A and B are shown apart, each in its own frame.
Chain A
């Protein structure tokens, strides 16, 4: 009896979680400009219009650029911290791992507002660079979580064996440590990119007049004649934020959960 109730509750909750994703997916194929339920007629015509729109294309290019640059920075910083925290005991080790989580543990307006005040104070012009700085700051923790989880599970003895057999630090890193970390790093890169591509709150404080894809949606969703294109871009954004996560989970199934809960 209670098991049946649990099953029903689980099914309803899953339905609730997927409802908006399915609905927006359907509206992307809605032939009409007005959004009335049920949808009368389906069409692919808005996809062509979305691809043809220069403002959508510019926003897409900016989002990809920012995502790649922020991911690269986060990979570098996050891997360095996780190696240091895993291998060494040093003063401020606990504070450092707390500092990494803060940008996503604190509400986005705090990080956004802090960076905004900083750029304003030092006269840094708002643009691509300021967006990348914000995104890299909250992406580091995703890399850190993934890489350190892998380091903790891998045995230090294989590195010792490598050194005993005459390999130097570089050769050991290149041929032993890095191959162990590789899939964790790729998974982290996918998650960091997905996180950056979708971010909107910090970005509104750091972007100035630039439009990433989420900012483009935010600026256009109130304009009735733009709605069909917004729906198409929205469907694209769902796919681009979900597909990397699916592959990251396949690559490194034990760490994505931790990265997500800490998101």
Chain B
């Protein structure tokens, strides 16, 4: 307990009393710092990123020319290499999303509908910890596991498959495996939450009406879990679209993220990097519109 003189105590009391009688001022005091931060620093930066996308780089001086131009977008649309990169990124994001949904569903179902409450809490924690465990270290660990003479190579050699190191190692296949691994918990948790919310009476009613496990799953569980599945897919899809560390560490191919990173870093072309960074934003905007159609936002 700190000792305050009666004088400061009285002044403090009168200030807070005054605030209590003027709730709008109190609200303003609460909001000024956070809205300043998000309104000015964050949204200001996003707005600036958007403007940069319509500016250009003077090839002679390397300075940014702040004049409206569509040159960056023209370059993205007309040079086939960028189209191929976008197409590849979206393709891998789609594969990762589908595979993650397939792996996540059984464990989420077990947690939500089969496991005892004690075991459920334990499983929840068991998924939480690898989710939070360092993102970069997990990728690095997979690089080590998939490398020639690594754990996978050794494991396959035990069964006589000697060419394994050539298939994995640094490759698109390895990259896909690592993407599937990294975003898997982000799919498990929403599906688990969605399945847990299905009332048991629905399943009992379905059984009472003569439906076996299969039809109940197809016609009751799956439709009710759909919004949760789509919610999970927002994470896996969006996070894959924007990632550049995984392609850089376990594959040799270019992703949207790598182009953005290298344009601003190596090439110093911030206008082009900004324009290319808007590509995943546009794709996600379309994806979110479709997801809203499935009611996925109620699950977030």
A interface residues with partner B (beta carbon < 8 Å):
2-3, 5-7, 9-10, 13-14, 16-21, 23-24, 27, 35-38, 76-78, 80-81, 83-84, 87-88, 90, 96, 99-100, 102-103, 105-111, 113-118, 120-121, 133, 136-137, 140, 168-170, 194, 198, 200-201, 204-205, 214, 217-218, 221, 230, 234-235, 237-238, 241-242, 245-246, 249, 256-257, 260-263
Q: How far is the CA of A111 from the CA of B44 in the complex (A)?
A: 11
B interface residues with partner A (beta carbon < 8 Å):
12-13, 16-17, 19-20, 23, 27, 30-31, 33-35, 37-39, 41-46, 48-49, 52, 103-104, 106-107, 109-111, 114, 123-138, 140-145, 147, 149-151, 153-154, 181, 184-186, 188-190, 193, 213, 235, 238-239, 241-245, 249, 256-257, 260-261, 264, 270, 273-274, 277, 280-281, 284, 300
Instruction: Please name all residues of chain B whose beta carbon is closer than 8 Å to the beta carbon of A137 when the two chains form the complex.
Output: 37-38, 41-42
Across the two chains, which residue of chain B brings its CB closest to A11?
A: B107
Q: How far is the CA of A241 from the CA of B157 in the complex (A)?
A: 34
- Select which of A84, A108, A133, A262 is within 8 A of B300 by beta carbon: A262
Instruction: Please name all residues of chain B whose beta carbon is closer than 8 Å to the beta carbon of A246 when the two chains form the complex.
Output: 125, 129
Across the two chains, which residue of chain B brings its CB closest to A92?
A: B35
* Contact between A107 and B27, CB atoms less than 8 A apart: no
Across the two chains, which residue of chain B brings its CB closest to A237?
A: B134
* Contact between B189 and A260, CB atoms less than 8 A apart: yes
* Contact between B133 and A37, CB atoms less than 8 A apart: no
Q: How far is the CA of A244 from the CA of B144 in the complex (A)?
A: 26
Instruction: Please name all residues of chain B whose beta carbon is closer than 8 Å to the beta carbon of A2 when the two chains form the complex.
Output: 213
* Contact between A84 and B30, CB atoms less than 8 A apart: yes
What's the minimum C-beta distance from B175 to chain A, rounded to whole angstroms?
15
Instruction: Please name all residues of chain B whose beta carbon is closer than 8 Å to the beta carbon of A113 when the two chains form the complex.
Output: 49, 260, 264, 273-274, 277
* Contact between B145 and A19, CB atoms less than 8 A apart: yes
Which 5 residue pairs of A and B lie closest in terms of their CB atoms, listed nearest first? A107-B242, A20-B141, A9-B106, A118-B45, A114-B45
Q: How far is the CA of A80 from the CA of B29 in the complex (A)?
A: 9
Interface contact tally, CB-CB below 8 A:
249
* Contact between B270 and A120, CB atoms less than 8 A apart: yes
Instruction: Please name all residues of chain A whose beta carbon is closer than 8 Å to the beta carbon of B31 when the two chains form the complex.
Output: 80-81, 84, 90, 96
Q: How far is the CA of A262 from the CA of B190 in the complex (A)?
A: 10
- Select which of A14, A38, A99, A110 is within 8 A of B242 by beta carbon: A110
Q: How far is the CA of A81 from the CA of B17 in the complex (A)?
A: 21
Instruction: Please name all residues of chain A whose beta carbon is closer than 8 Å to the beta carbon of B134 when the two chains form the complex.
Output: 198, 214, 234, 237-238, 241
Given A20-B181, A84-B30, A221-B143, check contact A13 B132 (CB 8 Å). no
Given A99-B42, A110-B49, A110-B277, check contact A200 B149 (CB 8 Å). no
* Contact between A110 and B128, CB atoms less than 8 A apart: no
Given A13-B106, A109-B257, check contact A114 B46 (CB 8 Å). yes
Q: How far is the CA of A35 from the CA of B193 in the complex (A)?
A: 40
Given A10-B123, A107-B280, A115-B45, check contact A35 B147 (CB 8 Å). yes
What's the minimum C-beta distance from A8 to chain B, rounded to whole angstroms?
9
- Select which of A10, A81, A116, A256 is within 8 A of B264 by beta carbon: A116
Q: How far is the CA of A3 from the CA of B114 in the complex (A)?
A: 8
What's the minimum C-beta distance from B188 to chain A, rounded to whole angstroms?
8
Across the two chains, which residue of chain B brings its CB closest to A136?
A: B37
* Contact between A169 and B34, CB atoms less than 8 A apart: no
What are 5 residue pairs bridging A and B, where the CB atoms are less than 8 Å apart in the complex?
A: A35-B147, A96-B31, A99-B38, A109-B244, A260-B189
Task: Contacts A16-B181, A20-B138, A201-B245 known; list 20 others, CB within 8 Å.
Answer: A6-B106, A14-B123, A16-B184, A20-B181, A37-B149, A37-B150, A37-B151, A78-B34, A81-B34, A96-B31, A107-B239, A107-B284, A109-B277, A117-B270, A198-B136, A201-B242, A205-B264, A235-B137, A246-B125, A260-B132
* Contact between A107 and B37, CB atoms less than 8 A apart: no
Instruction: Please name all residues of chain A whose beta carbon is closer than 8 Å to the beta carbon of B142 when the two chains form the complex.
Output: 20
* Contact between A256 and B16, CB atoms less than 8 A apart: no
* Contact between B140 and A230, CB atoms less than 8 A apart: yes
What's the minimum C-beta distance from B164 to chain A, rounded to whole angstroms?
12
Across the two chains, which residue of chain A brings its CB closest to B113?
A: A6
Instruction: Please name all residues of chain B whose beta carbon is closer than 8 Å to the beta carbon of A38 when the two chains form the complex.
Output: 154
Instruction: Please name all residues of chain B whose beta carbon is closer than 8 Å to the beta carbon of A96 when the two chains form the complex.
Output: 31, 34-35, 38
What's the minimum C-beta distance from A73 to chain B, rounded to whole angstroms?
8
* Contact between B189 and A261, CB atoms less than 8 A apart: yes
Across the two chains, which residue of chain A brings its CB closest to B155?
A: A37
Instruction: Please name all residues of chain A whose beta carbon is closer than 8 Å to the beta carbon of B244 when the two chains form the complex.
Output: 109, 201
- Select which of A35, A115, A237 is within 8 A of B150 by beta carbon: A35
Given A10-B110, A96-B38, check contact A238 B137 (CB 8 Å). yes
Instruction: Please name all residues of chain B whose beta carbon is closer than 8 Å to the beta carbon of A36 when the two chains form the complex.
Output: 149-150
Max count, chain A CB within 10 A of own CB: residue among B38, B188, B241 = B38
Instruction: Please name all residues of chain A whose beta carbon is closer than 8 Å to the beta carbon of B45 when the two chains form the complex.
Output: 114-115, 117-118
Q: How far is the CA of A7 from the CA of B20 in the complex (A)?
A: 57
